[in-house]
A and B are shown apart, each in its own frame.
Chain A
Amino acid sequence: MKPQWQILVVDDEEIMCESLAAWLREDGYLVDTASSGREAVELAKKTDYAIYFIDLKMPGGMDGIDTLMEIRRLHPDASIIIITAYATVDTAITAIKEGAQEYIVKPCNPEEISLLVGRIIKVKRLQRENLILRKKLQRRYQFHDIICKSPRMLEVLELAREVSSLRSTVLIRGESGTGKELVARAIHFSGNRAQKPFIAVSCAALAETLLESELFGYEKGAFTGAAERKKGKFELADGGTIFLDEIGDIGPKLQADLLRVLQERSFYRVGGSEEVHVDARVIAATHKDLRALVEEGKFREDLFYRLNVIEIQIPPLRERREDIPLLAGHFVERISHELGKPVEEIAQDAMRLLMDHSWPGNVRELENAVERAIVSCRGRTLTAEDFSFLRNNGAAKIQMPDNLTLADMEKLMIEAALRRTGGNVKEAAASLGIDRSTLYEKLKRYGIER
């Protein structure tokens, strides 16, 4: 569905307002009318119209030019089209000087007006998309920032490319720091929605009620402080993709709301009664084991299956160590440039350290480590010394209290493995070298909660 642009028609003659509004509505625009300059300014305070049609000759305190100037002040980016009769073309010149974009002499040819409106909307659409594009480029990460040569990661990218132009929901699983959002972006920007918005929301960052209004928007007066209608992330993502990170963290109410959006592609703003339709592709991500949450009754099964149409599992960095030199080299290049330090390479002993580290924080941890090393580095080469902070919390040093039994040790190791994998039993079992059912048994025996 094309985005709905809003237009305001201002004319003291009701029939003029209503007939032009009806004509524009047939074109799919949302059109409001105002019968005086005052009314127009009041409406303009509440709504961000893309185009204003203003009749120059209006009786009362505020004539067309005053109205134009006031609206210009409120919305410098709005397009204003002045409507005049033949007799008042001179004033139209004044109007153009005051910032009207165009003027039309009534009655005008239907072709003229549809071309004019079409042209303005086209420019606005481009501006909006450029804005989105600029914002995207400002972000640090881009598609090509996914750097890898490990077969498992290349498989992930291949799958991302394959599904990029589908509308199906994607569930991305992976530990924190593995780059779930990067993969979501790769899917969006390599698919047929690339020209449309990519909107990312972290579901863990906000309280449930805040998240609800963040996602679905709210109507004026929906709650204390809701002074104006606000669009939610779903509406902003119309035509594009919405990325819901940490989806495993949402409560039952939002789970139900999300299910509804996925099923019906529509929702209500908070405090609203009007159904809003959106065409947004949903990509969700989590570091949790959603299947396990479903089994525990903490996550709706129907929502899980709606989200899990396509599942992409990003391997943790420790399972694709061949990517470490590549990634580290890339981070050195980028961060040294950003920090303005002439660091060029990583010494062999330093690289060995990087290869041996377990990277519980994955790619993000590696990036932070490189940045920290560059900051302290004094030469052109990063040495093991520059990465000394990694040794301190490495796996090699385990403090052994004297009174520890073998069972205590096992319990500690299991807990550590679960922490590392974000509660993912399958991965925890793999990293401990036992199978899943054995791990479940031990969890029960030691009374360990996930």
Chain B
Amino acid sequence: MVVGVFELRTPEDRAVPQGVIPAMAAALEQCLPVRVAGLKPLEIPQGAYDARRAQWSAPAVLESVLASLPEGIPKALAVTGVDLFIPMLSFVYGQAQLKGRAGVVSVARLRQEFYGLPGNEALLLERARKEAVHEAGHLLGLVHCSSPGCVMRLSVQVGQIDLKGEAPCPSCAARLREVSA
């Protein structure tokens, strides 16, 4: 299975930090039965911006990712530096169509700076790897898992991301083999 990975270009101050996308690509190939294809960056659609919330709508972003998927790329994961939301929730780290074609990961809340703390590049890369594998896991058909170290565990706080590993647990891995067979 090929998963395309690309940056959703945003205004300069919200750009995805250097090194994040290669780290994600490496993690995807290490942890999931996929090959990563680096795709050209896209501009984030202005229509996805909600001025009142000063955030970007994840469903709108997903729609534009779907519309721009190149031929021969069955699934793609967009990476963005802006803060994402869905109408019902105050924010999301990312969202993916379950067993679908498009997913998006935001690194905005993965950065220590977001919480007023000094930057930590290693920690950012570690979180980015986990969230990329998590959303790609959804693309492949995995749902949330309750085993503590599993990458498919739902995280609603950044601390929970730090607690889990970057690989699927044995039972999620078995499910992956099942769905890919």
Residues of chain A touching chain B, judged by Cβ–Cβ distance below 8 Å, are 13, 15-16, 18-20, 22-23, 25-28, 83, 106-111, 113-114
Q: Complex formed: what's the CA distance from A114 to B160 in Å?
A: 14
Please determine whether A13 and B87 come into contact, CB atoms closer than 8 angstroms: yes
In the complex, are the beta carbons of A22 and B88 less than 8 A apart? no
Most chain B CB inside 10 Å of its own CB: which residue of A19, A27, A28, A111 = A19
Are A110 and B156 closer than 8 Å at their CB atoms? yes
User: Quick check: is B58 within 8 A (CB to CB) of the other chain?
Assistant: yes
Nearest 9 pairs between A and B by C-beta? A28-B143, A19-B86, A111-B156, A110-B156, A20-B88, A19-B59, A16-B87, A25-B98, A107-B90
Residues of chain A with a CB closer than 8 A to B144's CB = 26-28
30 A-B pairs whose Cβ atoms sit less than 8 Å apart in the complex: A15-B59, A15-B60, A16-B88, A18-B59, A19-B59, A19-B86, A19-B87, A19-B95, A20-B87, A20-B88, A22-B86, A22-B95, A22-B98, A23-B95, A25-B98, A26-B98, A27-B143, A27-B144, A28-B144, A106-B88, A107-B53, A107-B87, A107-B89, A107-B90, A108-B89, A109-B89, A109-B156, A110-B91, A111-B157, A113-B89
A107, B50: Cα distance in complex, Å:
13
A-B contacts besides A20-B87, A110-B90, 12 pairs, CB < 8 Å = A13-B87, A18-B59, A19-B58, A19-B86, A19-B87, A22-B86, A23-B88, A26-B143, A107-B88, A108-B88, A109-B89, A109-B156
A109 CA / B95 CA spacing, docked (Å):
15
B138 proximal to A (CB < 8 A) = yes
Q: A19 contacts which chain B residues (CB < 8 A)?
A: 58-59, 86-88, 95
Report the bound CA distance from A390 to B89 in whole Å.
74
| Chain A residues whose C-beta falls within 8 Å of the C-beta of B57 in the assembled complex | 15
- Residues of B close to A111: CB separation below 8 A: 156-157
Of chain B, the residue at the smallest CB distance from A18 is B59
A22 CA to B60 CA, complexed, in Å = 13
Question: What's the minimum C-beta distance from B126 to chain A, rounded to whole angstroms?
Answer: 21
A20 to B89, CA, bound (A): 8
Assembled-state Cα–Cα distance A25/B139 (Å) = 12
Complex interface: chain B residues within 8 A of A107 (CB): 53, 85, 87-90
Contact A110 B143 (CB under 8 A): no
For A22, list chain B residues within 8 Å (CB): 59, 86, 95, 97-98
B173 within 8 A of A: no
Question: Which B residues lie within 8 Å of A20 (CB)?
Answer: 86-89
Given A22-B95, A107-B87, A109-B89, verify A27-B154 contact (CB < 8 Å): yes
In the bound complex, what is the Cα–Cα distance between A111 and B109 (angstroms)? 15
**Given A22-B95, A110-B92, are A15 and B87 neighbors across the interface (CB < 8 Å)?**
yes
Number of interface residues of B (CB under 8 A): 23
Please name all residues of chain A whose beta carbon is closer than 8 Å to the beta carbon of B79 when the two chains form the complex.
none
Q: Does B96 contact A (CB under 8 A)?
A: yes
B90 touches A108 (CB 8 A): yes
Contact flags B86-130 to A (C-beta < 8 A → 1, else 0): 111111100111100000000000000000000000000000000
On chain A, the residues within 8 Å of B157 by CB distance are 111
CB-defined interface of B58-83 with A at 8 Å, one 1/0 digit per residue?
11100000000000000000000000
Task: Point out which of B53, B95, B143 has the most chain A C-beta atoms below 10 A from its C-beta.
Answer: B143
Quick one: which of B88, B90, B138, B157 has the most chain A CB within 10 A?
B88
Complex: how many Å from CA A16 to CA B85?
A: 11
Residues of chain A lying within 8 A (CB to CB) of residue B138: 26
Can you name the residue of chain A whose Cβ is closest to the Cβ of B152?
Answer: A26
Cβ contacts under 8 Å, B91 to chain A = 110
Q: In this complex, which of B60, B89, B96 has the most chain A Cβ atoms within 10 angstroms of its Cβ?
A: B89
Chain A residues with CB below 8 A from B97, complex form: 22
Q: Which B residues are in CB contact (< 8 Å) with A113? A: 88-89
**A108 contacts which chain B residues (CB < 8 A)?**
88-90
Q: Which A residues lie within 8 Å of B60 (CB)?
A: 15
Which residues on B sit within 8 Å (CB–CB) of A83?
88
| Min distance, Cβ B174 to any Cβ of chain A, angstroms | 11
CB-CB < 8 A to A26: which residues of B?
95-96, 98, 138, 143-144, 154
B155 to chain A, nearest CB (A): 9
B162 to chain A, nearest CB (A): 15
Query: Measured between alpha carbons, how far is A111 from B87 in the docked complex, in Å?
Result: 15
A108–B85 CA distance with the chains assembled, in angstroms: 10
Q: Please, which residue of chain A has its CB at the minimum distance from the CB of B175?
A: A1
Chain A residues, Cβ within 8 Å of B98 = 22, 25-26
Q: How distant is A34 from chain B, measured CB to nearest CB, in Å? A: 15
Given known A-B contacts A25-B143, A27-B144, A110 and B89 have beta carbons under 8 A apart:
yes
Q: Return A379 CB to nearest CB of chain B, in Å.
A: 61
